Amino acid sequence: MPSTHAVAGMITRLHDPQYARWAAQIRRTGGCRQPIHLRGHVHHLDPATGNRLHSYSTANEPDGILRVPCKTRRASRCPACAETYRADTYHLIRAGLVGGKGVPETVSAHPCLFVTLTAPSFGTVHTRREKNGKILPCHARRDAATCPHGRVMSCTARHGADEQCLGEPLCPDCYDYAGSVLFNAMSPELWRRFTEALRRRLAKLAGLTQRELRQQAVLSFAKVAEYQRRGVVHFHAVIRVDGPEGPATPPPAWATADLMTDAVQHAASAVAVTVPAVPGEPARSFQWGTQLDIREITVTGDLTEQAVAAYIAKYATKAAECVGTLDRRINPLDDLTALPIRDHARRLIAECLRLGALDELAELRLIKWANMLGFRGHFSTKSRRYSTTLGDIRQERTDYMRAEAITTGRLPLFDEDTVLVVSHWEYAGQGFSAGDALLVSALTGNRLPAASGGGS
């Protein structure tokens, strides 16, 4: 039931003389559920005379603010904006595989792999395994050992795909929670070392020095991080070899997919990253898990460029909330026992808070990233030469919207080089008031969260 306060707010909005303008603002945010409120102005000036050619101020907008899309990539926060982000990421990844968006089509002939680098084990967890269409028992052991906490290390259940226990340890007290969050924290560095080792290995296989390798070939990467249900990240990456000037130049003849596969295998098993011992915790050395998956991406084969682009784009909009943690920062003073999460996520978060308080680990900023279970890297990253950028793709859309605004008469047609643009913007809140949320839900059929920190 909506509150009387919300209903009153909705009625006020409907009777507002600026209602049409408000509704137009909402339409332009494309269904964003938490639009950003901006207050400010833009003046277009003639640089020669200083005369004002055109002015826009939010003072004339409903509530004195302009509502713009939040542009989050996270589907749990705003499905509409995350969908835009997903589509942009898809085009970015696809351009790096088959060309387009300024990348020549010849790039599709460059050797290109889809690689999955996993995390190591931190203890036995409940899993769902399938073989030939049949679901296997989770972790059946006839002579299973009993752990020091009295738990038998066996589970004969055939788990359903949505069972909550999946990814959770057979014995939480034996599980290496510290190792799990430290691995997440160190994984961006492990990735960096992997890419360096890969370059070294490629040079060696091709019989070149590092310097000669750089003169002949460029390695390009695009990767996403994905949380496994146990709460550790693993990475999916597109790895491509180009000629010395990037995607527009052909790769050297020695750079075959087989040679690349060999080099990836070697580099993935060769690298490690260590965390020194701290009070109560031993020194740890992390490597990638043994499950390494390397597949060649081809236009016609088993693994097509569409499949890869769709896969990476899908994970680019997900974060740790998919494993049952919280979709917001955690304050060290929060009462963890009161959070509406499962015990496994609670223990991972508690471990971040505990280790994050140690001076020796301060630079891992585990407290700040506790809700991400220690991972503070970017979810989707690509090297400079991979393809176009999200910024360019967004600019294309902005240009299109601007052209549309000009042709429909909302913006006068100026050549950007001949006018001086003076603008000032400030953040004035986010989200909808209770009344607006009710109205937008009624108009769009989308249920919206109650007002969160929204200004007006």
456 contact partners, CB below 8 Å, separation of at least 6: 37, 63, 64, 65, 429, 433
| Contacts with Zn ion, 267-296, as mask; x by CB under 5 A | ------------------------------
**In the complex, least distance from residue 155 CB atom to Zn ion, rounded to whole angstroms:** 3
Report how far apart the first and last C-alpha atoms of the chain are (Å, whole number): 22
Residue 448 to residues 79, 81, 437, 451, Cα–Cα distance (Å): 11, 14, 6, 9
List 241's β-bridge partners, or say none.
219
**In the complex, least distance from residue 253 CB atom to Zn ion, rounded to whole angstroms:** 48
DSSP letter for 214, please: H
Which of 15, 142, 149, 211 contacts Zn ion by CB under 5 A? 149
Interface of this chain with Zn ion, residues 307 to 336, rule: CB under 5 A: none
Other C-beta atoms within 10 Å of 154: how many? 17
Distance, CA of 287 to CA of 125 (rounded, Å): 19
**In the complex, least distance from residue 394 CB atom to Zn ion, rounded to whole angstroms:** 14
Which of 13, 39, 74, 126 contacts Zn ion by CB under 5 A? 126
Q: Is 277 exposed, middle or buried (0-12, 13-18, 19+ CB in 10 A)?
A: exposed
Rule CB under 5 A: is residue 128 a binding residue for Zn ion? Answer: no
Length of the chain: 456
Distance, CA of 437 to CA of 446 (rounded, Å): 10
**In the complex, least distance from residue 370 CB atom to Zn ion, rounded to whole angstroms:** 24
Which of 36, 93, 115, 138 contacts Zn ion by CB under 5 A? 138
Rule CB under 5 A: is residue 32 a binding residue for Zn ion? Answer: yes
Stretch that binds Zn ion, among 60-68, 156-164, 303-311, 373-381 (CB under 5 A): 156-164
**In the complex, least distance from residue 83 CB atom to Zn ion, rounded to whole angstroms:** 10
Pick between residue 76 and residue 306 the one whose CB is nearest to Zn ion.
76
Q: What is the CA radius of gyration of the chain?
A: 26
Other C-beta atoms within 10 Å of 330: how many? 20
Interface of this chain with Zn ion, residues 157 to 196, rule: CB under 5 A: 157, 171, 173-174
Rule CB under 5 A: is residue 78 a binding residue for Zn ion? Answer: yes
Pick between residue 192 and residue 397 the one whose CB is nearest to Zn ion.
397
Where on the chain is the footprint of Zn ion (CB under 5 A)? 32, 69-70, 78, 81, 126, 138, 147, 149, 155, 157, 171, 173-174
